[in-house]
Amino acid sequence: MSQYSLHQQLHFLFSERNPEALRACLNHEDFQSFLTEHSLVIPVEKLVLAFTHSSFSHEYEVPHQELLEFFGDSVVQLIVTQELMKLYPNEKEGKLSKLRSSIVNEKTLAKVASSLELNRLLLVGKGEFKKELHLQETVLSDTMEALIGKIFNFHGLNLTSEKFLGWLRNAVPNAFNMENLEHYDVKSKLQEATLAKYKTLPRYTSDPAGEGFLVKLWVNEHLVAEGVYSSKKIGERELARRALENSQF
């Protein structure tokens, strides 16, 4: 058993940059510990793909998680859709679609990933590790989707659904509450308000700002609110919420 955690081993790799140090990271026992803790049967050499960020891939010429994350997004969408149809069999499609969007998004998936401490298993490049990229919501959300994709590949839909829904409810107990729409659907509410008052839609602009984005909200060609956020979507939603809470409309 290694006395070093995966991220301690990463530091050795950053300084040594040799095949042995790379193998020690890619086959680290922390991956097997995660599998054992969650009763999953996946070869470590297959699981590690879900935790390999593109920055690590570019530095060490190993496959990265992006295609798996793309696949996992579809699996998560399917799992959540099935659960919503079970919970609300008589609800309208439009409302369920909005509730699904309030669940399958960067912020919620990052909460699930954080509750599982997936950041401890993330492989990122040297510069990105110093910037704590492995703690950012976008990266955690992508990794959560990649992990779900990998679990699906080895365990199928039923067990993957059971695992994801259990993790989701543990991290976000009220995730499936219909009342969440009141808070989530703020952009639509702001659109309705600006159309009624100005006969125009709100406009959002964004520019890179460090590791995030400077997002601005414009209404009737006036700057209403601005802020720096980890993603454009989160920024737009938060600015819309601020505008409505400030009773500007």
Looking at domain 6-178, its CATH superfamily turns out to be Ribonuclease III domain (1.10.1520.10)
Q: Is the pLDDT reported for residue 182 higher than 70? A: no
Q: What is the pTM of this model?
A: 0.78
Say which range, 3-17, 40-54, 114-128, has the weakest mean pLDDT.
Answer: 3-17
Q: Is the pLDDT reported for residue 143 higher than 90? A: yes
Q: How many CB atoms lie within 10 A of CB 223?
A: 10
Contact residues for 236 (Cβ-Cβ < 8 A; gap 6+)? 187, 204, 215, 217
Q: Give the three-class secondary structure for 218.
A: strand
* Residue type at position 211: E
Active site residues per annotation: 73, 145
pLDDT in tens, 54-82: 999 999 999 999 999 999 999 999 999 99
Residue where the block lists tokens 């400077």: 214
Q: H-helix or E-strand containing 209?
A: strand 203-209
Domain boundaries, the chain: 6-178, 185-245
Domain 185-245 grouped into CATH 3.40.50.1820: no
Task: Tell me how far apart the alpha carbons of residues 25 and 176 are, in angstroms, rounded to a whole number.
Answer: 37
Beta bridge partners of 205: 216
Q: Is the pLDDT reported for residue 102 higher than 90? A: no
Residue where the block lists tokens 């996946």: 42
